[in-house]
Structure 1
Amino acid sequence: MLARAACLLARSAEQGQLPQQLVRSFAAAAATKGAPKIDMTLPIAPLQLSGTSGAIATLAWQVAAKENVLPKVQDELYQLVNIFTKHVEIRRLATDPFLPTAFRMKVVREMLANKEVTDVTRRLIESLAEENALSGIVQVTAAFEELMLAHKKEVHCTVVTAQPLDDAERVVFTKQAQAFVEPGFKLVMKEKVDRKILGGFVLEFEDRLVDMSRAKKLEEFNNLVQKLENDLK
């Protein structure tokens, strides 16, 4: 049911327009009968994402961009994911297929009643609740984050080292990480200490891992020695 709806939404989004019914139910503005014609054209998403979660996140991003509330919707989705992952009762609400839809909708609406959330987020959560797909909020939020990173032209990276970096090392590692970033994109780098890597460094991007740690080299060396020993038997 949700997949079918998402396909329809994605098709409408690709055409750059949404019917007024979807705008009423998902976005903030609605055209009343006899009202002036509303511009239904949506901004083009910075990425083409696949799958149901990608289609839903893309539509949410487009409507949020049109309403100029992208950062607020992003923050609201983070908060909702935090609620769903930390609270057992809410997680059960999201995953129990035997709960009546009416009850699920009632709880969601009461949960959002006293919160100043955007209509984009409110309609998204209510739509997922109605389709018994609240558990998909984690995947939708992750896809929305991909769109936001592409929109801001940011690439996030975590540099992992065995010891905290000093200023000189920080400059070196920033240059090394920047080499993996496409021109025109901004590198946003975080630092993490993990003594298990023994030395060297690991660069953790969203879509790749560059492992130049001493632990990795020792593992490769031990594998080579083991292979040679097996070949000599």
Structure 2
Amino acid sequence: MASSRIRSGLPLLNRILRSDSLSTQRSAIQRSVLTPAFTASQPSKNLSTSTAQKEEKIKLPITLYGGTGNYASALFIAAKRSKVLDQVESEILDLIAASKKSPKFSQFLKDLSVRADTRVKAINEICATAKFSEITKNFLVIVAENGRLSYLESIVNKFKQLTMADKGIIKAIVTTIMPLPPQEEKELKETLQDIIGHGKSVEVEQKIDPSILGGIMIEFEQKLFDMSIRTRAKQMERFLREPVDFDAL
């Protein structure tokens, strides 16, 4: 398992962090990594491994926006072009899973004061220990060099959206105040499948949020169906606050 190899590489990370002092100019580093949003061309630099591969046109299954969307799109194109999409997806998901199990590794990813050379050295060590593909390693090094490791989980989540769309899978996020019974989840999934149509499949992710008070919220394909009691209550409140036009009665 790649995740176990990642965990075995964490002692290397500990040694690197201990041997390299943190920068004393923390605020300066923070300013430098939070400066203007990256363009789509920046994160794709050096991700591909051959000139022939660069000539192949890869179409994104969905359009993502923002800096994290640019990084995710660049990784998708490079992995798809090199025909290692499934492998790269598995590797970066393993990395995120490992970061959630290791507070020290998670802190390393979020700490903006770690010097760029320290970040890159640590990432190279981890990739070598986990035997990651060249595409994954190059991508993580670029993210580390650009001071974007703190955004890694967001980038990976958007990359996952791309891989799911590429496989014809539509993710529907269903929010309720308590888990849906299996039969209701099955019926909801069938309804969403009818809406989406043939050629694609639906994957339902349930989220629990007591603050919606009741009802249901469904989000998929950048659409939101809000049938929560919280939203209905707000709509009713706005209606009650509006002045009555007696002339229209």
Q: TM-score, normalised by structure 2?
A: 0.65
Asked if the contact 1:164–1:193 (Cα under 8 Å) also holds between the matched residues in 2, the reply is: no
2:47 is equivalent to residue 26 of structure 1: yes
CA drift of 1:7 comes to 4.2
Equivalent of residue 224 in structure 2, options 189, 206, 209: 209
The match for 1:35 is none
Partners of 2:182 and 2:151 in 1: CA distance: 41
Residue 165 of structure 1 is matched in structure 2 by: 181
> For residue 41 of structure 1, what is the aligned residue in structure 2?
55
Greater shift, 143-152 or 181-190, is seen at 181-190
Shift of 1:208: 3.6
Q: Separation in 2 of the partners of 1:41 and 1:82?
A: 34
Partner of 2:142: 127
Q: 1:144 aligns with which of 159, 165, 168?
A: 159
Aligned-pair distance for 1:217? 4.0
Identity of aligned residues (%): 21
The C-alpha deviation readout for 1:82-139, integer Å capped at 9, x for no partner, is 3445544334433444433222222122222211212111111111222222223223
Distance of 2:209 and 2:109 partners within structure 1: 35
Paired letter, 2:181: L
Q: TM-score, normalised by structure 1?
A: 0.68
Q: What is the one-letter code of the residue matched to 1:128?
A: V
Q: Taking CA–CA contacts closer than 8 Å with sequence separation of 6 or more, which of the two structures ends up with the larger relative contact order?
A: 2
User: Bigger CA drift: 71-80 or 58-67?
Assistant: 71-80
Contact 2:169 2:201 in 1 (8 A): yes
Who is 2:5 aligned against? none
Post-superposition shift, 1:222?
5.6
Residue identity opposite 2:80 in structure 1: A
Q: Which runs of 5+ in 2 are unaligned?
A: 1-31, 245-249
Q: Which range is displaced more, 141-150 or 47-56?
A: 47-56
Task: Decide which of 41, 66, 70 is 1:8's aligned counterpart.
Answer: 41
In 2, the alpha carbon distance for the partners of 1:196 and 1:114 equals 44
C-alpha RMSD of matched pairs (Å): 3.7
Q: 1:52 to 1:198 in 2, by over 3 A?
A: closer
Aligned length: 210
* Structure 1 gap ranges (5+): 14-21, 32-37
